Structure 1
């Protein structure tokens, strides 16, 4: 599992690195005063990081919005860990954008509980509809810890970008509700290429990501980025299964 995981991650890095280097150079050359462009560049780079996973078989999307991730738990944990490291890197290289993040608004405990509840409201109905039965999935409980790291680590990065940077910036220029709506719609729009080209699954993906994006944006508006991350990660955790080759 370890050797295969290293091979998979190396293959992913090989495909991803040229594009990330170009985005990194573009970002470095962009003046800090052009906040909007810098945020959009980071969103574009994230879309690249996410969508290149599909043709490499790291994940697959089903027509019922079921996500099948790599069965290699070490690969999933590594990808989640790298996402967390990327968040830490952004704190160092983009302190101006980092200052836009509001991790908690109001009571943190209530916020986390609301985030968990919203994630369950999104994920549980889909899990029941999909008929996911963990007892019928070989190696599910061995695979699950890796998925947990990926679900919350990778989606923490996504929430930092969409709800931390983008929504935080928009709140400085418009009403909080409008900023949340823009953030949610932008989140769905950034899945268009994935839905219509990479996977060709079309509208089910866009409807799901619009609902999820708006829900997380509203949680962020009221409770902060970390509760939104819990909502997002929990929803993904509930609708995911191992991808068996």
Structure 2
């Protein structure tokens, strides 16, 4: 399992390297004063990292809004852990952007519970519609811990980018509700290539990501980035299954 994970992760890194080097150079050459441009560069680099997983069969989207992730829990846990390391790296290389992140608003426990609740409101109906029975999926319980790390770790990175940097920057320019709406729509728009080209599943993917993006943006507006991460990670965890193929 570990040896297979190393091969998969090395292939993924080699596949991404040329594009990420260019994004890194672009980001480094962009003055710190151009905050919006630097945020857009990071968002585009993240989209590359996410969408490149599809041709490498590290994940797949189903027609019933079911997301299948690598059946190797070591791969999932490593990707989730690397996402958290990237967040820490951004804190060091981009302090002005880091200052935009609102981790919590209001009571932390209330925010976390609300994030989890909204994530369940998104994920449970889809899980029920899919008719997924974990007991009938071989290796599901061994796979689940790695998936939990990925669901919350990788989506923490996505939430820092969309709800921390982008929404935080927008709140300095427009009213909070408008910033939330822009953040949610931008989140869905950044899934367009995945929906229309990589997977060709079309509007269902865009509709789901629009609902999810708006929900996370509104949770972020009221409670902060950490509760938004709880919302996003919970929704994805509930509709995820091991990938076989």
Q: TM-score range by the shorter chain?
A: over 0.9
1:99 aligned residue: 99
Q: Distance in 2 between matches of 1:65 and 1:16?
A: 26
3-state secondary structure, aligned to 1:241: strand
2:186 paired with 1:189: no
2:50 aligned residue: 50
What do residues 11-60 of structure 1 show as CA deviations (whole Å, max 9, x unaligned)?
00010011000000000000000000000000000000000000000000
Q: Distance in 2 between matches of 1:226 and 1:81?
A: 16
2:11 aligned residue: 11
In the superposition, the TM-score normalised over structure 2's length comes to 1.00
2:190 paired with 1:223: no
What do residues 82-104 of structure 1 show as CA deviations (whole Å, max 9, x unaligned)?
00000000000000000000000
2:137 paired with 1:121: no
Q: Distance in 2 between matches of 1:75 and 1:224?
A: 29
1:142-221 aligned within 5 A: 142-221=142-221
What do residues 190-215 of structure 1 show as CA deviations (whole Å, max 9, x unaligned)?
00000000000000000000000000
2:238 paired with 1:238: yes
Which consecutive unaligned segments of at least 5 residues does structure 1 have? Answer: none
Structure 1 stretches of at least 4 aligned residues deviating more than 3 Å after TM superposition: none
Report how far residue 147 of structure 1 moved: 0.1
1:66 aligned residue: 66
Report how far residue 111 of structure 1 moved: 0.2
1:82-97 aligned within 5 A: 82-97=82-97
In the superposition, the TM-score normalised over structure 1's length comes to 1.00
3-state secondary structure, aligned to 2:105: coil
2:76 aligned residue: 76
Q: Distance in 2 between matches of 1:238 and 1:114?
A: 16
Report how far residue 244 of structure 1 moved: 1.3
Which consecutive unaligned segments of at least 5 residues does structure 2 have? Answer: none
Give me the CA root mean square deviation.
0.3
Report how far residue 236 of structure 1 moved: 0.2
Q: Distance in 1 between matches of 2:54 and 2:98?
A: 29
3-state secondary structure, aligned to 1:145: helix
What do residues 113-170 of structure 1 show as CA deviations (whole Å, max 9, x unaligned)?
0000000000000000000100100000000000000000000000000000000000
1:23 aligned residue: 23
3-state secondary structure, aligned to 1:102: coil
Report how far residue 80 of structure 1 moved: 0.3
3-state secondary structure, aligned to 2:43: helix
Q: Distance in 1 between matches of 2:164 and 2:64?
A: 29
